[in-house]
């Protein structure tokens, strides 16, 4: 497994924002499952992923597939009482950092719970006032 992907599986499961900063490219683009928008830049993306790591419970990767620059990591978790499954689609740049990151999840009800939980967290994190412009 690529060292970045190995590190990603460790830090993502813990919501380790500082660890995430070490493996994201400066201009990483993140597409969340909760709405059709893109977060750009490693600081805002790491902050979002840090919060996600706190919302997800019993998080674990079930399968990791890929090679070279393109990877798919299948996961399962709980959001409150709801079960969810999803896939992290990652692309690495030439330096081995994550440059593109998209999450697809199901079921719909769990995605709604994730969106509600994330909105509550983000509204209490002052950094997101400045990150608001990171959405493109």
**Alpha-carbon distances of 55 from 11, 24, 66, 70, 119, rounded to whole Å:** 14, 21, 27, 26, 11
- Confidence band (pLDDT; 50, 70, 90) for 94? very high
Q: Is residue 63 a contact partner of residue 73, using CB atoms and an 8 Å limit? A: yes
Q: What is the mean pLDDT of residues 53-79?
A: 94
Q: What is the mean pLDDT of residues 61-79?
A: 96
In a domain, 135, yes or no: no
Q: What is the mean pLDDT of residues 38-60?
A: 90
Q: What is the CATH number of the domain that holds 43?
A: 3.10.450.50
Angle, alpha carbons 108-123-85 (nearest 5°)? 25
In a domain, 40, yes or no: yes
Asked if residue 136 has pLDDT above 70, the reply is no
Mean pLDDT of the chain: 90
Range with top average pLDDT, 39-43, 89-93, 128-132: 89-93
Asked if residue 132 has pLDDT above 80, the reply is no
Instruction: Identify the domain containing residue 94 by its residue range.
Output: 3-126
Asked, as a colleague might, if the bond just before 107 is cis with ω within 30 of 0, I would say yes
Distance CA 9, CA 21 (A): 14
Q: What is the mean pLDDT of residues 2-26?
A: 94
How many domains, in total, are found in the chain? 1
Give pLDDT, residue 35: 80
In a domain, 79, yes or no: yes
């Amino acid at each position: 497994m690529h060292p970045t992907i190995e590190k990603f599986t460790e830090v993502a499961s813990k919501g380790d924002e500082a660890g995430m900063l070490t493996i994201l490219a400066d201009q990483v683009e993140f597409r969340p499952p909760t709405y059709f928008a893109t977060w750009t830049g490693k600081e805002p993306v790491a902050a979002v992923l840090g919060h996600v790591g706190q919302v997800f419970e019993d998080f674990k990767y079930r399968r990791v597939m890929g090679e070279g620059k393109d990877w798919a990591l299948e996961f399962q978790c709980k959001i409150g009482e709801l079960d969810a499954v999803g896939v992290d689609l990652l692309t690495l740049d030439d330096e081995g950092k994550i440059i593109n990151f998209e999450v697809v999840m199901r079921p719909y009800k769990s995605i709604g719970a994730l969106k509600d939980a994330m909105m509550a967290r983000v509204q209490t994190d002052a950094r997101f006032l400045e990150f608001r412009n990171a959405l493109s």
